[in-house]
Structure formats: C-alpha cells, structure tokens
Structure 1
Amino acid sequence: MSEKHLSSRFEADLDLLSSKLLEMGGLVEAQTAHALAVLNEFDSALVDDVLEGERRLNAMEIAIDEEVCQIIARRQPAARDLRFLMATSKCITNLERAGDEARKLVKRMRRIHRDGVARALNIAEIRVSGEMALNILRRALDAYARMDAVAAAQIVRDDEAIDNELRAFVRKLVTYMTDDPRTISIGLDYLFIAKAIERIGDHGKNIAEFVVYAVKGADVRHAHRKQLVSNASGV
C-alpha cells in the first residue's frame, strides 16, 4: 500500500473522529439549552430529554475514546497528530461532564417544582451566566472544528465573566437568606444550580485550552493571560 494512500486513510480517520466529537458536542449544546429552558419555565418533557440524552453521552464518550485508542495503536502518530488525538480524548471527557452538569441542573429544578417551594427570588444572574456558559461551549466547539487557537484563547479569557455574574448572585443570595430564613432551602438549591452552570462554562473553557494545545503544542492550563495570548498566537 502506498505512503500516500496510508496518509489519506489516516486523514480520513481523523476527520471521522472530529465529526463524532462535534456530534457529541451538538448533543451537549442541546442538553444545556434544554436545561436553561427548564430554569426559565419548568417542563417535564425537557427534563426527560436531558436525562435520556445524558445516557447517550455516556455511550458516545466510551465509543469515541475507544476510537482514539484504536487510531493511536494502528497509526502510531507523532507530533501534531498525536496532540490532536490526546486533545480530542480530553475534550470528550469535558463534554460528558458538561452533560452531567445539565442533568444535575434539571434534577434540581424538578425537585424545586415538585416540592413547591419556589419563592420570589430574582435569579437574573443565573440566567445570564447560563447563556454565557452555553455561548462559551458553542464557541469552543467551533474553535475545535476549525482548530483555531486564537479564538480558543479568547474563550479562555471570557470565562471569567461567568464567575463574576455568579459571584454577584451569591452575594445577593446571602442577603435573601439573611433577611428571610424561609428562602434558605430554595436558596441552596439555586446555589447548586449556579455551580452546575459555572462548571459547564469551565468545561467549555477546558475544551478551548485543549484546542490551543493541539494546534500550538503548549499546555495553557492555569496560564496567565499574557502567556495564553502568546502561546495561541505563536509570538
């Protein structure tokens, strides 16, 4: 078999793997969007969709990870190809965990709805941070699809905005619970939901970091902003 043919087959394997990850990412996007819809208005059908989708995500994670192992064993890749495969494996783990957080969110909302304990709490910051987290996830998947390290670096920087919104909500929540102890139970539920949203954003950020690694070969986890920009741009 010619070297060119072997190379073509390898490229086809990598393209297929990328397509499978993006399919999984699309499902996580849908799960997150459904979870945020439940946050705005409880819908048992959407809750069921998220719970069912999470089981599909688990199966997809296992299948794609196995494919990564098979490609490494068959092709023995080096340099950028190996980084791409390792980054893909890390990305699917983060996608599965983001799906877990969407599941936790809808289960907590189901509990709030079932117990009938909802009170007039202003959760605007949770809603805003939820949309931010979903946007980061979408952009991270787009950066992965295009292997765009510069776009990925911007995503990592933007993740801080979610943390700022959630910190503002926690401060407000403490005031609610201090002024009216009856809000403590639901306040803790929404605190749990806020944490789930923060983690979805974190997983999107992690995916972006692995895109930088795949393209530039630089591990930018925990990197300072200037170092991140330098590594992503190659300057």
Structure 2
Amino acid sequence: MSDIPSAPLTLVMGNKAYSSWSLRPWLALRHAGARFTEVVVPLRQPETKATLLSHAPSGKAPSLRHGDLVVWDSLAVCEYVNELFPNAQLWPADQGTRAVARAVAAEMHSGFPDLRKNLFMDVLKRHDRPDRVAAAQADIDRVLAIWTDCRARFGAGGPFLFGAFSIADAMFAPVATRLRTWQVAVDPVSAAYIDAIYALPAMQDWLRDAAAEPWEIQFEGM
C-alpha cells in the first residue's frame, strides 16, 4: 500500500523564526517524506488572527488541510501524519516503548508553562538572560530528566529519544532550539541530543528558511 495521500496536503504555519508549534508537525511531515504546501502566516500582526481563522476554527497555527479535512493542534496533526504515512514509523514499534513516547510527547504538549513564558523560541538569536533561565529552571530540569531517561532506556538504536526519530522528537525539537537560544547549560547527554536535532537535514532547512524571512517580532521585556 502506498503512503502517498490522494489529496494535496497544506500546512498553515507561523513564521519559522518563532513558531515552535509549527515546527513540530513540519518535522513529522518532512520525516515522512510527504509532499506538502506551506502557507506561512506572520505571527503577532494585526491580521494574524483573522488569517489563521480563515484556515482553521482554532484561529491558531499550525493546521493541516488534506482535501476538505482540516486538522489543527500540533500533536493532532502529527498523529494524523502518522496515520497517513505508516511506513515512516513515527512512533516506536514496541507497545511499551510507544506508550512512553506518547507520554513524554503529551507532557511536552500540555506542560512547561514557565519555559514557554520565559524562553520563547527565536532560532535566529542568542540571548544572555540568566534571570529568564532561572525563572524556567524547574521546567528545564524536567525536560533534561526526560531526555536523559529516554536516551538511557530507549536510545540504543540511534541519536534520538527512542533511537530512531519519532513524534516525541518533533515535540521536543523546539525546546532544543530554546535551550540553545538562551544558552542554557545542559548535561553531555542532552547536549548530544540537541546536536542531533540540529543535524537533521530538515532542521537545517527550517533554520535557513527562518533566516530568509523578512519579519521580526519585538518581544516585551527584551
């Protein structure tokens, strides 16, 4: 059975320098080898909300259109991509390992508010703000604990959390960029994991595209 969808795929996304939620399904689609069209909507502009609402009822990025179907929310889109492209093996094959991978992906999806608030995604810059890092330290510690635990228990087959690249890595990839942007000190296992995320050809393409974007957001307090 072919993994090629019968209808075109369109990913509506925020601009690549800042949109952590958009990076997640974008990496899943790239890993699956999907052909898809990108619609990039600049964030924090007067027209942003109305534009996003014209694509999905949530009024947020990202959303995926597949023919007449619209799927919104990053994790939901990743799960849908997994169903469209089963040969990509976006979850681990072993049932128990897959359950842990889903658990850490869901924890990333729903948690870490201090990290999100203080260490916003900005792949183009480096910030030296120990005060912001300190405010997010408890969340950082939990992220690093997840990474070191998954690498120790499940990472023998490759450089990612569960060996091979999975949706769990797509969910944590923006965090890897945040820790690098904000120059957060990490343990050697976590540093190697961040390096593996950045070494992905898809990630390199994302960073190149972000550097070419004409938009810049001025964040409050910066």
TM-score, scaled to structure 1 = 0.31
Greater share of residues in helix: 1
TM-score, scaled to structure 2 = 0.32
Larger radius of gyration: 1
Greater share of residues in strand: 2
